[in-house]
Amino acid sequence: MAASIFAAVPHSPPVAVFKLTADFREDSDSRKVNLGVGAYRTDEGQPWVLPVVKKVEQMIANDNSLNHEYLPILGLPEFRANASRIALGDDSPAIKEKRVCGGAFSAWVGRCALRIGADFLRRWYNGNNNTATPVYVSTPTWENHNSVFMEAGFKDIRTYHYWDAAKRGLDLQGLLNDMEQAPEFSIFILHACAHNPTGTDPTPEQWKQIAAVMKRRSLFPFFDSAYQGFASGSLDKDAWAVRYFVSEGFELFCAQSFSKNFGLYNERVGNLTVVGKDADNVQRVLSQIEKIVRTTWSNPPSQGARIVATTLASPQLFDEWKGNVKTMADRVLLMRSELPLSTGGPRTPGTWNHITEQIGMFSFTGLNPKQVEYMVKEKHIYLMASGRINMCGLTTKNLDYVAKSIHEAVTKIQ
């Protein structure tokens, strides 16, 4: 028999976070804790369908005027407009001056918004088909940032300083130095809030310093906003950086995801907000984005976008959603405050105040790979090799066990 034409295809390694979840499910130990996957969990360790989402899903099911016709290529118009509105604010000068054009497009979650934005920038930013424009991502960052821009055709992916391992906080000076030395027109991927994986965000004053350098050096900000409202419980606070950059006159992209703040993990709902100098520029950009979308997925799905649009467009539903989001954010903040390591429990070597100082779903614990391995193999606590944990995996029932296990790992394993 002739060899398969696919015989030379190598086997790709599994995606680490999904492999971690699979290992957790196969573990029969009663003490096991999953701190890996990036999804919200209740204090009972269960997924949570937001009450407002259940209500809107029922409304959609009962609406006989809806059908399954194609959407516009750029997506559901009311979703696009409302998504951009919550990112930029009701009083956004960019929206009033029609420099946003009611939003950009509905996509298969924020990752696709990133990819379409990357495809556009490669084709039309800093020259035509300029694959040599440097793209900077933070060290560390969400692993997909590198691959998204590489697959879009960019050849020069660089890193900028972000996490100071010794201080377990932001390396602001290193970040600013990297921006000062970056070639003009370089693209910088910025986390709007709840930095993944560190949970460490710049303060407003630090964001102002970052914006000043980027403006002077003619650097392009591409925000990734996956946790608006989920990080602090406030939509406005979590969008502060994006809105400040817009107020400073930046043209920018902002990829939004509604997986976390709506709990729509498998509906894949995202938006790319484009802010330009004027309406004419934005319309030309959108015409090219429409062309890219047409050859990528042709037409977007409607269900998730309709859930979000219906919720954001109704004052009553919008208020209910904000309450649901605050419920999630408050539980995460509670777990941070009650984790014994951060409240004077076991006298674990090192400093642990970063647990409460960080924000959002994730915390960068500072555990090294050997300590992580000990946690997984000996204590059945599943976390990423980087030491990142999902704070939502902590509950009032497992807090003490996790804290004592971290103490044991740090004191036994160097």
CA–CA dist 111, 228 (Å, integer): 15
Residue 340 confidence (pLDDT) above 80: no
CA–CA dist 53, 262 (Å, integer): 7
Residue 400 annotated in active site: no
Out of 18-32, 129-143, 162-176, 330-344, pick the least confident.
330-344
Type and span of the H or E element at 368:
none
Residue 263 confidence (pLDDT) above 60: yes
> Residue 50: which of 259, 238, 226 has the closest Cα?
259
CA–CA dist 212, 239 (Å, integer): 18
pLDDT band at residue 182 using 50, 70 and 90 as cut-offs: very high
Given a contact cutoff of 8 angstroms between Cβ atoms, the answer to whether 88 and 243 are in contact is yes
Residue 367 confidence (pLDDT) above 70: yes
pLDDT band at residue 253 using 50, 70 and 90 as cut-offs: very high
pLDDT digit string, tens, across residues 129-143: 889 999 999 999 988
pLDDT band at residue 103 using 50, 70 and 90 as cut-offs: very low
CA distances from 26 to 29, 34, 42 (A): 9, 12, 21
Place of tokens 């062309």: 291
The catalytic position among 119, 171, 178, 224 is 224
Query: Cβ–Cβ contacts within 10 Å for residue 290, how many?
Result: 15
Say what the pLDDT of residue 32 is.
94
Residue 201 annotated in active site: no
Say what the pLDDT of residue 342 is.
55
- 3-state DSSP call for residue 389? strand
- One DSSP character per residue, 232-276 reads TS-HHHHTHHHHHHHHTT--EEEEEE-HHHH--TTT-EEEEEEE-
Mean pLDDT of 9-32: 91
CA distances from 140 to 17, 233, 410 (A): 16, 25, 22
Residue 102 confidence (pLDDT) above 50: no
pLDDT digit string, tens, across residues 380-389: 999 999 898 9
Say what the pLDDT of residue 413 is.
87
Given a contact cutoff of 8 angstroms between Cβ atoms, the answer to whether 192 and 113 are in contact is no
CA distances from 57 to 131, 263, 303, 305 (A): 43, 13, 9, 11
pLDDT digit string, tens, across residues 273-332: 999 999 999 999 999 999 998 888 888 888 999 999 999 999 999 999 999 999 999 999
Higher pLDDT, 108 or 308: 308
Say what the pLDDT of residue 108 is.
52
Mean pLDDT of 153-157: 96
> Residue 109: which of 263, 259, 298, 290 has the closest Cα?
259
The one-character DSSP state at 393 is: G
pLDDT digit string, tens, across residues 61-91: 999 999 999 988 888 899 999 999 999 999 9
Mean pLDDT of 199-206: 95
Query: What's this model's pTM, rounded to 2 decimal places?
Result: 0.91
The catalytic position among 142, 163, 321, 352 is 142
Say what the pLDDT of residue 180 is.
98
Residue 108 annotated in active site: no
Say what the pLDDT of residue 4 is.
94
The percentage of residues in the chain with a pLDDT greater than 70, rounded to a whole number, is 96
Mean pLDDT of 25-34: 94
Residue 181 confidence (pLDDT) above 70: yes
CA–CA dist 201, 207 (Å, integer): 9
CA–CA dist 34, 21 (Å, integer): 7
> Residue 182: which of 207, 220, 217 has the closest Cα?
217
Say what the pLDDT of residue 110 is.
53
Tokens describing residue 213 = 């350098």
> Residue 145: which of 102, 108, 190, 185 has the closest Cα?
190
The catalytic position among 260, 321, 322, 352 is 260
Tokens describing residue 106 = 């509905």
Tokens describing residue 61 = 């099911």
Mean pLDDT of 46-59: 96
CA distances from 223 to 83, 134, 220, 273, 395 (A): 14, 16, 10, 10, 31
- Following CA atoms 243, 247, 250, 253 in sequence, which dihedral angle do they give, to the nearest 10 degrees? 20
What is the distance of C-alpha 36 from the center of its chain? 15
Say what the pLDDT of residue 137 is.
97
